[in-house]
Amino acid sequence: MSSEALSPVRRRRRRRTLTVLLVASLCGGTGAATYAALSPDGSSPVNPTPPGPTGSTVAAPVSFTDAQAGSCLNWTQDGPVTRDIVTVDCAQPHRFEVATREDLSQYPTSEFGPDAPQPDLQRQQQLTEELCTAPTTDYLGGKLDPTGRYTISPILPPAEGWAAGDRTMLCGVMVTDADGTALEVTGVAAGSDQSRFSAVDTCVRAVGDTASEVPCDQPHSWQVTKVVNLADNFTGAWPTVDEQNRWLSGVCQTAAVDYLGGGDAGDEALYQSTLVPFWTSMTEDSWDAGSRTVNCALTKDSAGPEGQSFAEIVGDVRGAFTLDGQAPEPQPARNPRR
């Protein structure tokens, strides 16, 4: 059956299902291949040089950081180059939270000896699985949302530190964008809601199996109207997607009307916009990991080629905007108004 033969309700439900799969495909869980290892360019040691063995004048390699489990790190991101890595209070903006500190020189092979090159991306991903995943999951209380906001990744020393013999590897979590760049966040990951969601007013563009936040004056697929905590209505075991849909349909309809002005004016604005309320839902694995947060948004089905799911919105939906390059078609008067 073609999408044109589906009722509006069924078409919207199919759209929501697509979005659940889309969100599930984003960077979550262990993402070493996306952001395999951070080497802060030109970062200076924050540890004093430790003494060598008694009577020795040979200093042990200085670690590029003294960060331990529970430390949070931030740095300056200049395109692909990172520099000036510092330890900060986790209540302050940061890009990485340390779960464990590993010394690769103690790895039970000669792979990381004095003259060894830094591991390539494939080896870094293996090291993430071998050395980071289990202790980082333990650090998070044994719960990692597989489609959540946190990605498990390692940080290796800068090239000059590695060449000088530093074999420190930090394992921890960060939040990345669709390109794998670490974003600034606040608060401690351990014990937090790991849901991947966007703030109210955010515009999100979905392309293929990735979604990224973009300015609303750029083409996007939906605009967020509300952040919803499923725990406000559901307790205990995971509510099925159908159960979530039945509740969120009313919540997100109200959110859409309120977002566009509230009352009769908001209801009329929603009708004239031709947009429809839209929401994300929570998978059972995410629920079991403690995630509870989803989004309400406004979107529109695509009238474009097969395989294009969302109309291309440009502009803030509370003002002048276009759908696939055209202003929304004026809708006929309703009597009685819905």
Q: What is the mean pLDDT of the chain?
A: 82
- What's the whole-number mean pLDDT along residues 71-93? 88
pLDDT bin (cut points 50, 70, 90) of residue 210 is confident
Per-residue model confidence (pLDDT) at position 104:
93
Query: How remote is the C-alpha of 333 from its chain's centroid?
Result: 42
pLDDT band of residue 207 (cuts 50, 70, 90) is confident
| Per-residue model confidence (pLDDT) at position 337 | 54
Higher-pLDDT residue of 139 and 211 is: 139
The pTM assigned to this predicted structure is 0.75
Q: What is the pLDDT of residues 167-194, one digit of tens each?
A: 999 999 999 887 788 999 999 998 899 9
Residue 182 is given by DSSP the state B
**Residue 309 backbone dihedrals phi, psi, to 5 degrees:** -90, -30
Token pair in block for residue 110: 């000669």
Higher-pLDDT residue of 198 and 107 is: 198
For 32-93, give the secondary structure using H, E and C.
CCCCCCECCECCCCCCCCCCCCCCCCCCCCCCCCCCCCCCEEEEEEECCEEEEEEEECCCCC
Q: What is the pLDDT of residues 289-321, one digit of tens each?
A: 999 999 999 999 887 655 568 999 999 999 999
Confidence check: pLDDT of 11 > 90: no
| pLDDT for residue 22 is more than 60 | no
What span, in angstroms and rounded, lies between the C-alpha atoms of 203 and 65? Answer: 37
Residue 335's pLDDT is: 65
